Structure 1
Amino acid sequence: MTGADGAGRRAGPGPLLLGVRHHGPGSARAVRAALEAARPRVVLIEGPPEADPLIPLAAHEDMRPPVALLAHAVDEPGRSAFWPLAEFSPEWVAVRWALEHDVPARFIDLPAAHTLAWRTEDPQDDTPEADPDEGREPDPASDVRADPLAALAEAAGHDDPERWWEDVVEHRGAAEGDALAPFTALEEAMGALRETEPDGGRDRDLVREAYMRLQVRAAQREFADDVAVVCGAWHVPALRRKATATADRALLKGLPRTKVDMTWVPWTHRRLSRAGGYGAGIDSPGWYGHLFGAPDRPVERWLTKVAGLLREEDRIVSSAHVIEAVRLAETLAAMRGRPLPGLSETTDAVRAVMCDGSDVPLALVHDRLVVGDVLGEVPPEAPAVPLQRDLTRTQRRLRLKPEALERELELDLRKETDAERGRLLHRLRLLGIGWGEPAASRGSTGTFRETWRLRWEPELSVRVAEAGVWGTTVLAAATAKAEADAVAAQGLAEVTALAERCLLAELPQALPTVMRILADRAALDTDVGHLAQALPALVRSLRYGDVRGTDTGALAEVAAGLAERVFVGLPPACAALDADAAEEMRRHVDAVHGAVALLGDESAPGHGDLRARWQSVLRLLSGRDTVPGVIRGRAVRLLLDDGALAADEAARLMGLALSPGTPPPDGAAWIEGFVGGGSGGGMLLVHDERLLGLVDAWLTGVPADAFTDVLPLLRRTFSAYERGVRRTLGELVRRGPERVGGATAGSGTPGFAAELDTARADAVLPVVRLLLGLDAADARTHEAGSTAAGTGRHDADDNDLVGVEA
């Protein structure tokens, strides 16, 4: 193998071994320069050989890194491994160079068939997505192997391996000297490090390297020494070592094996970062991508990109900020003895110049640019399980493109396209493919609107492969999964939640099985709490069925029967409860009340007037002394809200509950049930001062020794009110609520005193003058008249103005 004079020449025969750092842009540039100089006839790359048929797809016009090779066991798709590749990965550069120069490219690492089977036999190796070379936990017996770059950086006097690597490799110019010089130096360093390894290294490394040597020998028999090998720098000394083919085959004998499928899947920069949980990742994929792609002046281009991001977030960043940040970064690099500003220097410059010393906008820069949300693309020709193909077709038809950046999607289910999108997302969630998560709708609370938070993560490709065992289409797979989950469900609440999800996902074929199991479980379950938890989900499902045009007759029948059983079992279940159990039962009462209101009178033919029967249960609860106060108070409140209880009767029941004979803690619990729990009780007290007066009189009469016992419960009750409600209640209590029936002089209207408050009237006069358009002279006249009104001396015009003010 020959190249330009002095550029590609190697000492002695043998393959060209290019040891690299995975996902290193400096290594990627060096690999490209070395291949251009050496012009090998075949390129061998560290990776699973099962992926060799997929190599040509790397040149497809629709292939955009970051991408990953995904291998999964055919009989157990959840058992999988990834080999991620970014645009700045040396392996990706080697593949692309080979395709561009019509040179064969082959993967030579241990086959994935052995890797996945080996992982099954090793329970400690359970990382689902990891580069087999660096993705496992560090071996306590071999810290050097865990992070050889850290060992080299420490030997060079650096405490930060990332900064050391940037200085010696990433900031090295592509045309500096011999193209093979960096690989030679790195091979010598790794050879010295490997001498410290006990017994030559890890067992798995020895097996992998034995397989690689066999593949290199096979390529040499075919292409002589015109062979280039691109692999992790750690393996280069082992590939250079002389070993017999017989010894290497002996290491491979008896390895476990399983059948695997391989394909390309999209990957993200976030998953390349260590923060994303990928063991062989890098801290700053966005920064490395920028270094690899910037043709010149990388620091200036980077800081310009940062400025653009901050401007999008409405921060004031000008071109002068960029110029000053560049100067500061270069100064910091010179002070720290670095050849060029690195990520730490540019970050410090951005913090000082563009972020005013704050780490808050800096966190945005790190998330959006240093790490980034780039999502790769894979051509449709890539192999995929049938379920993945159906999902891809559906995504394109519904114009739902997978994206790495989280975004919100508002759906109006009255529109057919939005309804189909909602069904797809619900079906995927049922299959365990969490592409979308439901979110609270800001614009409407109607059942015709849904809000989703979407974000596509690479591991979802594994979830799709796993779900492929349930069917070849999303609809068939979701139906089969729902039926299986219904059979395996342990509790009633699980089945009711599943019925709700079946309606949301529109799975009519699965619903009969789910409803049959639901009816059986409901008939056998005697726990009122379980029944009360299950009822709201069923009633919500009825509403979803209405907006989606689904037949919910069977569901309504089961919901009505469930309500009947709750009505019978609730009163005895509410007796003799402690404080925590009473609070939980109060929540059940609220849930059942809302469910009955939604169920309506005609949703369950043959079951009579459910609402009237529920109100009779509430009356029973409100009058039983054995029922905890929080439940009795809530029953009275619910009856009052429904108009089934007169205001005078509610006041009478409150008076009884807050009478001197009732222990203060019980009275406080009754108040909590009546006006607490975020039920709008604050506004009830604002508008009905009779009730507020009862609470006020009771509270002022609580003995001092009992006050500390009731204070926490009262604070919890009233602290839940909005600030304006609390302020209004405070003013009413300070002024003193009116008694009804003319007991106080004046009109007796709640909220108004017997006499006019002239000071409060004068406070709004400036606004009234502006509204009436009075000039300064008229304003003085009217102001004098208003003052006279306070002393009983005013004319007709003043009467009119004061009347408006009153």
Structure 2
Amino acid sequence: MTVTFLGVRHHSPACARLVADTIRSVRPAYVLVEGPADMNPRMDELLLGHELPIAVHTSYRDPERRHGSWTPLCDYSPEWTALTAGRDVGAELRFIDLPAWHPALAELRNRYADAEARYGEVTGRLCRAFAVDNVDALWDHLFEIEPADGLAERLATYFDLLRGDTEAGPDDTAREAYMARWIRAAAADAGDRPVVVVTGGFHRPALIRLAERGDRNWPEVPRPPADAVVGSYLVPYSFRRLDAFDGYQSGMPSPGYYQDLWESGPAGAARRLTEAVTARLRARRQQVSTADLIAARATADGIALMRGHPHPARVDVLDGLASALVSEAIEVPLPWASRGPLGAGTHPVIVEMIAALSGDRVGRLHPSTPLPPLVHAVLAVLGGPGEERLDLGGEAGRERSRLLHRLRVLGIPGVVRTSGPSPAGGAELVERWTLTDSDDRLPALIEAGGYGVDPQEAAAAVLAERIRGADLDRLADVLFDAALCGIGELTGKALDDLARAVGAAADLGSLGRTLTVALSMWRHDDLFRTGGSATLGMVVQAATRRALWLAEGVRGGPVPADLRRIDAMSAVRDALRHAGSSLGLDTDAALGVADRLAARQEAPPDLRGAALGLGWSLRGTAAADPARAVRGAFVPASAGDWLAGLFALAREEVLHAAGMLELLDELVGGMTDHDFLVALPALRQAFGFFPPRERHLIATRLIERRSGGASGWDLMRLEAAPELVAAGMALDGRVEAALRREGLITS
């Protein structure tokens, strides 16, 4: 048998040319390509005549795992040229890798993520040997800029050195064993006719070895588990999504530049890169003179000559442009000296240069390309761009709102809500949306199709996934999004995950927000039909019990009042008061926690005050001698924080209990000047829990108690800022202390 193994770097113009030339030269019976074997029956769909870049998007979900991955292809992808050149010479085309949903690829969101990144020691030594910054510059230096003569041998040497004697991990081992079965079967079927194998160069040494022995039967394509939902569809892709500077791990940054390299060669790509950067900067009103361009080209040519390049490489052109166009000091390393997204502080001109290299090409699918049901379901009802005002008081407005919220939850571009109800807001009955066209909408819809066949099913799956991974601060937002989407009731694993998240909560403040939102929606939400929801009822039950358990475990000395913690205790009070009997909450147990917490000196003052307020507000007139409890718990050093907790939970009880305001006046009035000034900010915060009408009532009663002639409103209105009054009091105190120290006053 004659098998030609071509190890390539994904998205490399040099490798793409080598592949196409080799196939046209040897005219093989089979062209075998690293790619998802389950796409083999759909090869005609892949080759319909799309405008590249495109990708095969595969979605997988079962009760335990969800996975989405892409197999991207552009004009200069060696895999693409293998398919097109193979079709031209009449070869049988086969993808030979495991399907993208397979556990061996579970860690890969992109099938064509180059393995060489995993072997940094070897590439690091090569970079040092050739005096280049990183593997991208190394690749250009060795392969893209150099003449094509001897390219296959140089590639084989490079990848043999990269792989060496290293044992691949279990995932790569499984993939290579599977690909080798395809190679052996194709070679056996081809007889004396040649076979060409195109895979990532990392796999080439292992495949050569594995292809020598073993069975020669065609392998079966693995089937997903019976309870899994799997779908693979072609999606339009874009150079922006391909770019390593945007976070894509293909190993090839600047796809626009490499497209030019593919079409025009190194000299043409260097010229077009300079033109693209110039046009982009001038479009943004950045001054780029002819002298600047001459300097940039001359510098790039000089750098290329110094580095031994027959033509300026990508980094040569970029270094020349940076030298000519950036006059001030550059505070961060140039982005092409490393890999990955642009760092903070990158110079604006450099940012525009990188954007010019990326290119703005967007792929287009052939009109006959099959699309998932979700795409048809959405496009049939979404409508065109424009502003929409929805009346949520009518069923038509609510139904349209639910559709748009489902698309928002799915992350579909061009669907933006500008106003409407929020978890912390009132019952707003109007929503406003802005719909705009976007090149990314169709890819996003196709990818979202992996969640379900219609917007409701897909949004429910996304929300279930968000619940599984949400921290507690975001859980309330997820519940509210579920209501907005018309998915008020969760079932099965999503409900279990929700209960688990609430039951494992460790932060009382975050749990309180979730409880507040869930209780409000359970009690009142007729607008989104969540009133009395079983799901929300479960959240209220679990959050109330967990909050009481967390509160009893809090320790800490006098610190500023934690308003989130106080709000959590208020939410517990409201849940017990308004849902206790309906949801079977144990009010007696909650009162026991409140009494123990109120008496525990190790607990923070605000929490002790809130616990006292919780017990008082739930018992009402049955509370035993609250005045005695207040007098026993009042500590001047932490009075403001303690009162904040008390007032937040038992404001009305304090206001209307006989003699309570007078007692508080006595306690505050008995504080020393020093203690009062220290406590003043916290005291102001505490009394802020009373609304203006009630503060006026307090002021009136204090004036009556002190027999003053002013009105309550006069007492509430200071001519000076409270901070200035406090500073004046502190100054008076220091003066009086100095006078006493000097014996000038004795009384």
* Aligned counterparts, 1:145-184, within 5 A: 160-172=134-146, 181-184=150-153
CA contact (8 A) 1:630 1:670 kept: yes
Matched, 1:629 2:640: yes
The 3-state SS of whatever aligns with 2:93 is strand
Q: Deviations over 1:768-797 (max 9, x none)?
A: xxxxxxxxxxxxxxxxxxxxxxxxxxxxxx
Matched, 1:263 2:274: no
| Match in the other structure for 1:500 | 480
Structure 1: distance between partners of 2:717 and 2:157: 85
Structure 2: distance between partners of 1:685 and 1:304: 73
| Match in the other structure for 1:337 | 308
The 3-state SS of whatever aligns with 1:346 is helix
For residue 352 of structure 2, the aligned residue among 350, 365, 369 is 365
Structure 2: distance between partners of 1:306 and 1:208: 45
The 3-state SS of whatever aligns with 2:53 is coil
| Match in the other structure for 1:689 | 719
CA contact (8 A) 2:238 2:363 kept: yes
| Match in the other structure for 2:561 | 582
* Aligned counterparts, 1:373-452, within 5 A: 376-378=363-365, 382=369, 388-391=372-375, 393-395=377-379, 397-398=381-382, 412-414=389-391, 423-424=402-403, 426-427=405-406, 433-434=410-411, 447=428, 448=430
* Residues 355/410 of structure 1: CA separation in 2 closer, same or farther (3 Å cut): farther
For residue 200 of structure 2, the aligned residue among 232, 242, 264 is 232
* Residues 313/699 of structure 1: CA separation in 2 closer, same or farther (3 Å cut): farther
| Match in the other structure for 2:18 | 30
* Residues 297/191 of structure 1: CA separation in 2 closer, same or farther (3 Å cut): closer
* Aligned counterparts, 1:82-481, within 5 A: 82-99=70-87, 101=88, 103-112=90-99, 116-117=102-103, 119=104, 126-131=106-111, 134-135=114-115, 138=118, 160-172=134-146, 181-187=150-156, 190=159, 196-197=164-165, 203-204=173-174, 207-208=177-178, 210-218=180-188, 220-221=190-191, 224-225=192-193, 227-236=195-204, 244=212, 247-249=213-215, 258=224, 262-269=232-239, 271-274=241-244, 279-294=249-264, 297-357=268-328, 358=330, 359-365=346-352, 368-371=355-358, 376-378=363-365, 382=369, 388-391=372-375, 393-395=377-379, 397-398=381-382, 412-414=389-391, 423-424=402-403, 426-427=405-406, 433-434=410-411, 447=428, 448=430, 464=448, 467-468=451-452, 472-478=453-459
Letter in 2 for 1:324: A
Letter in 1 for 2:402: R
Structure 2: distance between partners of 1:70 and 1:346: 37
Structure 1: distance between partners of 2:128 and 2:259: 26
Letter in 1 for 2:35: G
Letter in 2 for 1:301: R
Letter in 2 for 1:308: A
CA contact (8 A) 1:283 1:371 kept: yes
1:49 positional shift: 2.5
Aligned residues: 611
Structure 1: distance between partners of 2:736 and 2:75: 73
* Residues 399/303 of structure 1: CA separation in 2 closer, same or farther (3 Å cut): farther
Letter in 1 for 2:151: P
Q: Deviations over 1:254-291 (max 9, x none)?
A: 99875675433444545545566655532433432342
CA contact (8 A) 1:80 1:462 kept: no
| Match in the other structure for 1:700 | 731
* Residues 334/45 of structure 1: CA separation in 2 closer, same or farther (3 Å cut): same
Q: Deviations over 1:673-711 (max 9, x none)?
A: 5689xx9xxxx99984255353333343465999xxxxx
CA contact (8 A) 2:476 2:517 kept: yes
Does 319-328 or 342-351 show the bigger shift?
319-328
* Residues 499/110 of structure 1: CA separation in 2 closer, same or farther (3 Å cut): closer
* Residues 128/426 of structure 1: CA separation in 2 closer, same or farther (3 Å cut): farther
Q: Deviations over 1:630-677 (max 9, x none)?
A: 46479999999xxx99xxx99x9999598627344322322455689x
Q: Deviations over 1:465-507 (max 9, x none)?
A: 6634xxx322145458879999x99999998655522332133
Structure 1: distance between partners of 2:471 and 2:250: 42
CA RMSD of aligned residues (A): 6.4
For residue 667 of structure 1, the aligned residue among 677, 680, 684 is 680
* Residues 475/585 of structure 1: CA separation in 2 closer, same or farther (3 Å cut): closer
Report the TM-score when normalising by structure 2. Answer: 0.61
Structure 2: distance between partners of 1:79 and 1:552: 31
Letter in 2 for 1:183: A
CA contact (8 A) 2:72 2:112 kept: no
1:26 positional shift: 2.0
Does 441-450 or 361-370 show the bigger shift?
441-450
CA contact (8 A) 1:82 1:130 kept: yes
Letter in 2 for 1:138: R
Q: Deviations over 1:719-761 (max 9, x none)?
A: xxxxxxxxxxxxxxxxxxxxxxxxxxxxxxxxxxxxxxxxxxx
1:183 positional shift: 2.0
| Match in the other structure for 2:711 | none
Letter in 2 for 1:291: L
CA contact (8 A) 2:561 2:644 kept: no
Structure 2: distance between partners of 1:226 and 1:293: 29
CA contact (8 A) 1:493 1:533 kept: yes
Letter in 1 for 2:567: H
For structure 1, the 5+ residue unaligned runs are 1-12, 120-124, 402-408, 600-612, 707-806
1:197 positional shift: 2.1
Letter in 1 for 2:382: L
CA contact (8 A) 1:43 1:103 kept: no
Q: Deviations over 1:381-438 (max 9, x none)?
A: 5566xxx52245415642589xxxxxxx9875459999778634643676xx455799
* Residues 440/128 of structure 1: CA separation in 2 closer, same or farther (3 Å cut): same
Structure 2: distance between partners of 1:518 and 1:336: 59
* Residues 478/297 of structure 1: CA separation in 2 closer, same or farther (3 Å cut): closer
Letter in 1 for 2:94: F
1:91 positional shift: 1.0
| Match in the other structure for 1:64 | 52
CA contact (8 A) 2:179 2:207 kept: yes
The 3-state SS of whatever aligns with 1:467 is coil
* Aligned counterparts, 1:538-687, within 5 A: 550-551=528-529, 554=532, 578-580=557-559, 582-584=561-563, 588=567, 626=633, 628-630=639-641, 632=643, 656=669, 660=673, 662-673=675-686
Letter in 1 for 2:456: L
The 3-state SS of whatever aligns with 1:289 is helix
Structure 2: distance between partners of 1:482 and 1:528: 23
CA contact (8 A) 1:207 1:252 kept: no
CA contact (8 A) 1:127 1:135 kept: no
The 3-state SS of whatever aligns with 1:109 is strand
1:24 positional shift: 0.5
The 3-state SS of whatever aligns with 1:64 is coil
| Match in the other structure for 1:53 | 41
Does 443-452 or 162-171 show the bigger shift?
443-452
Q: Deviations over 1:137-168 (max 9, x none)?
A: 7379xx65xx5xx6666666766443342234
* Residues 313/130 of structure 1: CA separation in 2 closer, same or farther (3 Å cut): same
For structure 2, the 5+ residue unaligned runs are 331-345, 579-612, 621-625, 693-713, 738-747
* Residues 316/533 of structure 1: CA separation in 2 closer, same or farther (3 Å cut): same
* Residues 507/46 of structure 1: CA separation in 2 closer, same or farther (3 Å cut): closer
1:361 positional shift: 1.0
Q: Give the percent of matched residue pairs that are identical in Structure 1 and Structure 2.
A: 22
1:48 positional shift: 2.9
